[in-house]
Amino acid sequence: MRYKILFAGPVGAGKTTAIGAVSDTPVVRTEAKATDAVRQRKARTTVAMDYGSLTVDEQVTIQLIGTPGQERFDFMWEILSVGALGVMIMIDNAREDPLSDLDLYLKAFHRILDRRGAKGVICVTRRDLADTPDLGAYRAHMDKLDLHWPIFEVDARSRSDVKTALLALTAELNPTPIRKQTA
């Protein structure tokens, strides 16, 4: 079984880093020098997509697709969503209004993926830099929207953290348990 999973969220939330942390294959990146306000956060940014893959076992492979974070590249979100079964929405907790960021990406990707019954997971990154909002605030926010997606605190550099969230998402997609692979 092959799953196509998207990694979405604002610039700097850790999408490219997370894919690199968990991919079994070298990650294909489409980064360019940041020329707008993004350059204040980082020197390079994804402009089309990132691609990696994770083999869980002989029967399950997860294609890891990173979307650009900037809204001006939202046309790529629709293109990359074709065939996707789920989305990992990565939210940088250290940004000015992470719950507002969450709303933006939930609306965009829920609209794109909902027609196929796709599932999602929320990955809150950079909590070491900002401890509020806490995970309870994210859960309350999601409950108000009647979305019952799993929420994880994730260090995008940690293979274990990213893999845990990915396996939770694949469990939502597949009622048959996936055997856990050692990290």
| Residue 178 maps to a domain | no
Q: Which pLDDT value is given to residue 75? A: 84
88 compared with 37, residue with greater pLDDT: 88
Burial 103-133 (b: 16+ CB within 10 A, else e): ebbbebbbebbeeeebbbbbbbbbbeeeeeb
Average pLDDT over residues 102-122: 81
Average pLDDT over residues 46-64: 84
Average pLDDT over residues 102-128: 84
pLDDT in tens, 60-106: 888 999 998 788 788 888 888 888 888 999 999 999 999 999 999 99
| Residue 148 maps to a domain | yes
Q: Which range is least confidently modeled, 51-55, 105-109, 122-126, 138-142?
A: 105-109
Is residue 149 predicted with pLDDT exceeding 70?
Answer: yes
| Residue 90 maps to a domain | yes
DSSP 26: P
| Residue 52 maps to a domain | yes
| CATH assignment of the domain containing 124 | 3.40.50.300
Confidence of residue 48 (pLDDT cuts 50, 70, 90): low
Is residue 150 predicted with pLDDT exceeding 90?
Answer: yes
Q: Report the alpha-carbon angle 23-28-30, nearest 5.
A: 135
| Residue 42 maps to a domain | yes
What's the whole-model pTM score? 0.84
**Paired sense of beta strands 28-33 and 44-57, if any:** antiparallel
| Residue 182 maps to a domain | no
Which structural domain, as residue segments, surrounds residue 22?
2-173
Asked if residue 108 lies in contact with residue 10, where contact means CB atoms within 8 angstroms, the answer is no
Q: Which pLDDT value is given to residue 177? A: 47
136 compared with 82, residue with greater pLDDT: 136
- For the chain, the average pLDDT equals 84
Q: How many domains does the chain have?
A: 1
| Residue 117 maps to a domain | yes
| Residue 41 maps to a domain | yes
Q: What percent of the chain has pLDDT over 90?
A: 46
